[in-house]
Chains A and B, each alone.
Chain A
Amino acid sequence: MLLNRAALPLACALSISSAMAVELGQGVQAHGFLSQSLVYTSDNRMGGNSDDGIATEMREIGGNLSWRPGADWLLSGQALARWAGASDNGDLRLDYGFVDRTLLADGDTSVGVRLGKIKNPYGFYNTTRDVAQTRPGIIMPQAIYLDRARNFFLAAPGIGFYGNHESANGNLSWQVSALRPEVDDPDLTYFMLGRGLGHFSGKASWLGQALLESEGGRWRAGLSLGQMAMKYHPAAIDPFMAGQTRLPTWVLSLEHNTEYWSLTGEFSQTSVHSNGYGNPAIEQDNTTEAWYLQATRRFGGGWQGFLRYDVLYMDKHDRDGTAFAASIPIYRSFPYLRFAKDWSVGVRRDVGRWTWSGEWHHVDGTAWLSPTDTPVRTSVEKWDLLLLQGAWYF
């Protein structure tokens, strides 16, 4: 009986077959996606107990609805549930939900405004990072698209103005948003403070992005720029006081596309300025540096492969983490918490609406691992990660 209940929605889903979208009436569309990964690590943990066997707690399922009541209006919403080991438990949440109004459209130029919970434009991939088919691999390049800070950067309530301009030379699109980030996330508290007992809330922040595509997207270049801000609400007994943190950030993105190859590189820096926590170590200014380069080759028949090198330094002035380890006694043996250098190679096959992928990572450092999955004491500096994934979308 249980099996039947589980099988029914799946059977309904599959009966949509290769339809691109489900049309639910005039101007209404539905889309959805799901993925399930298997994770094996030589040491450290991701998606469950991946170092003792195969972990299966990495999956995502989501669906969206959109309604275009007229040429100038669009209403969109998406719900998402995500599982990621101890750091995400599958709670259903609103991924985005907003009203989009086109203010001006004269053929080649358009300008509009979006109001509601909007995905944050940050680098090439942030807005659709939970849809497996749109990612450049099974997991995002972690240096820039850190899963640990995912919820903070993913989407936020606010207002966004956007524009698009087409010309024979290319396409320029931009967006500027005023937002209040959603930051009530234990992973983020750990990320910012180590062992804070309280919680964070978002403060007024802004993010902007300009993307330029030339020759129909053979070259794509982007600049994302912004400042995210939050404040800390300490617990009744808490080692930290009610501090505030500002994070000015930018990402430079560049991609070259040919028929068989895509070469992608992104570089970002995020500064951390904190005050009022009553703790000099936390209040020290710091700049993280992250970049990756990826080459993707399309082979035909739905096959593609990639090679990526992905680097994250939590402090660009202390790349090997030795100053950090020397300054905090409990982290003396763990300078590698402050960096991660990740070589990965992967293969993917698209068959209709299905995507099957496998990839292998060799990582030096643990900067992007969630400490809720891999406690610092049990972490190992050099480790391997094998991922397999099946994904479907419509």
Chain B
Amino acid sequence: MRRYGGFFLIFFSLHAAAVEVIVNRGVAGTSLAQASARALFGMRLAKWPDGRPVQVFVLPDDHPAHIALCKEQLNIYPYQLRQSWDRLVYSGLAQAPIEVATEEALISRVATTPGALGYVRKVKQNDPVKVLHVVE
């Protein structure tokens, strides 16, 4: 039974690594509650617990990493995120996340923007960003 448990743990870890939430290295902490992650990516929360402003970077709606972020880390569908952004942005209640075209560009924007939050499928060892684990 324990062997199966180990197997499931490995399987789960691989599965969870389909997309990783990344932040600028100046952002404190190592994990993020799923509710907070939804609020941050949903543009409902504009600052980190230490009071510094958040800057969200995203990939296009149909990018595999974006779909994986929504479904696996935030547990929502991409269309829902799009609808909440549009509702906020066109009534003036919040700003939109900044969209970049590629994961390389996203890493570079997150690395150079204080308070930045984003996601990529795989963070390499020497990428100048920090990974935050989303916990349910």
Quote the shortest CB–CB distance from A32 to chain B (angstroms). Answer: 10
Quote the shortest CB–CB distance from A343 to chain B (angstroms). Answer: 25
Measured between alpha carbons, how far is A231 from B43 in the docked complex, in Å? 39
- Given A102-B46, A128-B90, the answer on whether A107 and B36 have CB atoms closer than 8 Å is yes
Quote the shortest CB–CB distance from A74 to chain B (angstroms). Answer: 7
Closest to A110 in B: B45
User: Is B97 interfacial (CB-CB < 8 Å)?
Assistant: yes
- A98:B92 contact, CB within 8 angstroms: yes
Closest to A119 in B: B91
Q: What chain B residues lie within 8 Å of A167 (beta carbons)?
A: 35
Residues 136-177 of A, flagged 1 when their CB comes within 8 A of B and 0 if not, give: 000000000000000000000000000010111001010000
User: Is A370 interfacial (CB-CB < 8 Å)?
Assistant: no
Which of A65-73, A180-188, A192-200 is near enough to bind chain B? A65-73
User: Is A105 interfacial (CB-CB < 8 Å)?
Assistant: yes
User: Is A257 interfacial (CB-CB < 8 Å)?
Assistant: yes
- A70:B80 contact, CB within 8 angstroms: no
Measured between alpha carbons, how far is A107 from B29 in the docked complex, in Å? 13
- Among B34, B47, B92: residue with most chain A CB under 10 A: B92
Q: What chain A residues lie within 8 Å of B35 (beta carbons)?
A: 108, 166-168, 171
The contact of B95 among A68, A108, A127, by CB within 8 Å, is A68
B: interface residue count bin: 35 or more
Q: What chain A residues lie within 8 Å of B39 (beta carbons)?
A: 108, 164, 166, 171
Q: What chain B residues lie within 8 Å of A133 (beta carbons)?
A: 86
Which of A17-25, A85-93, A284-292, A376-384 is near enough to bind chain B? A17-25
Q: What chain A residues lie within 8 Å of B46 (beta carbons)?
A: 68, 71, 74, 102, 105
Q: What chain B residues lie within 8 Å of A201 (beta carbons)?
A: none
Measured between alpha carbons, how far is A106 from B75 in the docked complex, in Å? 23
- Given A71-B51, A74-B95, A107-B49, the answer on whether A134 and B90 have CB atoms closer than 8 Å is yes
User: Is A275 interfacial (CB-CB < 8 Å)?
Assistant: no
| Cross-chain pair count, CB within 8 angstroms | 117
Measured between alpha carbons, how far is A109 from B33 in the docked complex, in Å? 14
Q: Could you show 30 A-B contacts with beta carbons less than 8 Å apart? A: A20-B98, A21-B95, A21-B99, A29-B96, A31-B89, A64-B90, A64-B92, A68-B95, A70-B53, A71-B54, A72-B47, A74-B95, A98-B92, A110-B44, A110-B45, A127-B90, A127-B93, A131-B86, A134-B87, A134-B90, A164-B45, A166-B36, A166-B38, A168-B33, A168-B35, A215-B75, A216-B75, A216-B76, A216-B80, A259-B77
Quote the shortest CB–CB distance from A111 to chain B (angstroms). Answer: 13
- Among B53, B80, B87, B95: residue with most chain A CB under 10 A: B95
User: Chain A: how many interface residues by the 8 Å CB criterion?
Assistant: 48
Quote the shortest CB–CB distance from A220 to chain B (angstroms). Answer: 9
Closest to B83 in A: A134
- Among A31, A107, A127, A171: residue with most chain B CB under 10 A: A107
Closest to B53 in A: A71
User: Is A375 interfacial (CB-CB < 8 Å)?
Assistant: no
Q: Binding site of A, secondary structure by majority: helix, strand, loop or mixed?
A: strand
Measured between alpha carbons, how far is A64 from B88 in the docked complex, in Å? 12
Q: What chain A residues lie within 8 Å of B98 (beta carbons)?
A: 20-21, 23
- A71:B92 contact, CB within 8 angstroms: no
Q: What chain B residues lie within 8 Å of A18 (beta carbons)?
A: 60, 99
- B87:A31 contact, CB within 8 angstroms: no
The contact of B90 among A33, A102, A173, by CB within 8 Å, is A33
- A168:B91 contact, CB within 8 angstroms: no
Q: What chain A residues lie within 8 Å of B36 (beta carbons)?
A: 107-108, 166
- A257:B91 contact, CB within 8 angstroms: no
Quote the shortest CB–CB distance from A100 to chain B (angstroms). Answer: 7
User: Is A217 interfacial (CB-CB < 8 Å)?
Assistant: yes
Quote the shortest CB–CB distance from B122 to chain A (angstroms). Answer: 23
The contact of B38 among A70, A107, A216, by CB within 8 Å, is A216
- A21:B96 contact, CB within 8 angstroms: yes
- A168:B34 contact, CB within 8 angstroms: yes
Measured between alpha carbons, how far is A133 from B45 in the docked complex, in Å? 24
Quote the shortest CB–CB distance from B101 to chain A (angstroms). Answer: 8
Closest to A28 in B: B95
Quote the shortest CB–CB distance from A164 to chain B (angstroms). Answer: 5
Q: What chain A residues lie within 8 Å of B76 (beta carbons)?
A: 216-217
Residues 34-74 of B, flagged 1 when their CB comes within 8 A of A and 0 if not, give: 11101100001111010111100010100000000000001
User: Is A36 interfacial (CB-CB < 8 Å)?
Assistant: no
